[in-house]
Amino acid sequence: MEKIIVRGGKRLSGTVKVEGAKNAVLPVIAASLLASEGKSIIRDVPTLSDVYTIGEVLRHLNASVEFVDKTIIVDASEDLNIEAPFDYVRKMRASVLVMGSLLARQGRARVALPGGCAIGSRPIDLHLKGFEAMGAKVKVENGFIEATVDKLRGAKIYLDFPSVGATQNIMMAAVLAEGSTIIENCAKEPEIVDLANYLNSMGAFVRGAGTGTIRIEGVEKMYGADHTIIPDRIEAGTFMVAAAITGGNVLVQGAVPEHLSSVIAKLEEMNVTIIEESNGIRVIGPDKLKAADIKTMPHPGFPTDMQSQMMALLVCAEGTSIITETVFENRYMHAEEFRRMNSDIKIEGRSVIINGPSQLQGAEVAATDLRAAAALIIAGLKADGYTRVTELKHLDRGYLDFHLKLQSLGADIERVKDLSDTPSVETAAVETNS
């Protein structure tokens, strides 16, 4: 079993470069299935396990997928298969994003019903309602969702919640539909804008991405295009918190301030100095962090994907902080692990009350999802002694070379293969006290 071992106490300093965004590249790769002519070249791709998984899904659907460093070349010009089996969907829920493209291209899609996951139940009813509004017949049978249609028709679709995935799936279905589609109360995340830009470069007509209403005029055919993925705002935010918690001074290169305004505002409220530089965001951690309240919301609200990292920071802040999670109903599994590291955290329904500051103590902790993995490692950077983080498969879904990047900023961190490589708890305790 692999573990990350962090010894806390080092201030981070230097420059770290962010990768292309995981949450932008997955829908873009799914959208490349829409090109019945020409190859798509997708650049600045983070080579994460999720990206390989969606690559496998595309291959299974009869597209060719070639990885060359951080570029992916997709050729989807042959007729496509229509089924994404459970093995892929289980590994990565974003596999359901191929549904819109398959319906648009083949008039049929069969995708295993995704199960619940560590952050909540995550239904896909809004995706399906959107397809139905466009004329598709949808049925759920033997653990699969099957959707069929002769030809998708444009429709006016109001989303009860601005779901990121539903907005993306409906956009992909609508670009080849007959007539106009209007998606109201749609998601406004930067990843939606990135997808719209890619679709437009493939020949689609998509307007309004980034606002609450997207308008799409269906086109006859789409073509492969050359697209560069936007920088990962969540990876950037994660390094910003890592710099802040250690009282460090780090330039997060490639971070886009407009994508991170809610995170920047909260960090500033906590006494962290943020300087926007021409090529990124510099973060200077204070000697004393101040408590703050956070409510996660759809973009441009505070991102749920930064909630666990901020929890690590709030534990170290002076005063009482309250986090309220409004996007996922069960995204507090990491709170238990933080308690093992000596933090004062109480869960009350959808809120968490944190009394700080606590001096974090190193412990053996398990990641429950990818952001929790990063958050526990960040807590380890500040903790006394050694923190050992297990279940790194979660980390690898969303962070490339995370420990190496932290090492390059001066963190005392390593990734080890098995228990015999790790210093014993006794040794760690002695070293902590010395």
What track of x and - describes contact with ligand PEP for positions 262 through 301 (by CB under 6 A)? Answer: ----------------------------------------
Looking at 40, 95, 101, 163, which residue binds ligand UD1 (CB under 6 A)? 163
Q: Is 304 in the site for ligand UD1 (CB under 6 A)?
A: yes
Total Cβ atoms within 10 A of residue 141: 9
Looking at 26, 76, 89, 240, which residue binds ligand UD1 (CB under 6 A)? 26
Q: Is 371 in the site for ligand PEP (CB under 6 A)?
A: yes
Q: SS3 sequence, 414-425?
A: EEECCHHHCCCH
Total count of residues recorded for the chain: 434
| Contact status, residue 179 vs residue 153, Cβ threshold 8 Å | yes
Sign of CA dihedral 372, 373, 378, 379: positive
Q: Is 165 in the site for ligand UD1 (CB under 6 A)?
A: yes
Calpha distance 411→198 (Å, rounded): 37
Total Cβ atoms within 10 A of residue 47: 16
Calpha distance 206→223 (Å, rounded): 15
What track of x and - describes contact with ligand PEP for positions 38 through 77 (by CB under 6 A)? Answer: ----------------------------------------
Concerning whether 316 is annotated as a catalytic residue, the answer is: no
Q: Is 94 in the site for ligand UD1 (CB under 6 A)?
A: yes
Looking at 51, 80, 94, 97, which residue binds ligand PEP (CB under 6 A)? 94
Minimum distance from CB of 235 to ligand PEP (Å)? 10
Interacting residues of 407 by C-beta distance below 8 A, sequence separation 6+: 413, 414
Interacting residues of 419 by C-beta distance below 8 A, sequence separation 6+: 1
Annotated binding residues for UDP-N-acetyl-alpha-D-glucosamine: 93, 122-126, 305, 327
Which residue in the list 41, 73, 113, 117 is annotated as catalytic? Answer: 117
| Contact status, residue 14 vs residue 185, Cβ threshold 8 Å | no
Q: Is 394 in the site for ligand UD1 (CB under 6 A)?
A: no
Looking at 78, 156, 161, 261, which residue binds ligand UD1 (CB under 6 A)? 161
* Token couple for 339: 């308690």
Q: Is 122 in the site for ligand UD1 (CB under 6 A)?
A: yes
| Contact status, residue 362 vs residue 384, Cβ threshold 8 Å | yes
Amino acid at 98: V
Q: Give whichever of 304 and 368 is closer to ligand UD1, judged by the CB atom.
A: 304
Annotated binding residues for phosphoenolpyruvate: 22-23
List interacting residues with ligand UD1 (CB under 6 A).
Answer: 23, 26, 94, 120, 122-127, 161, 163-166, 191, 304-305, 327-328
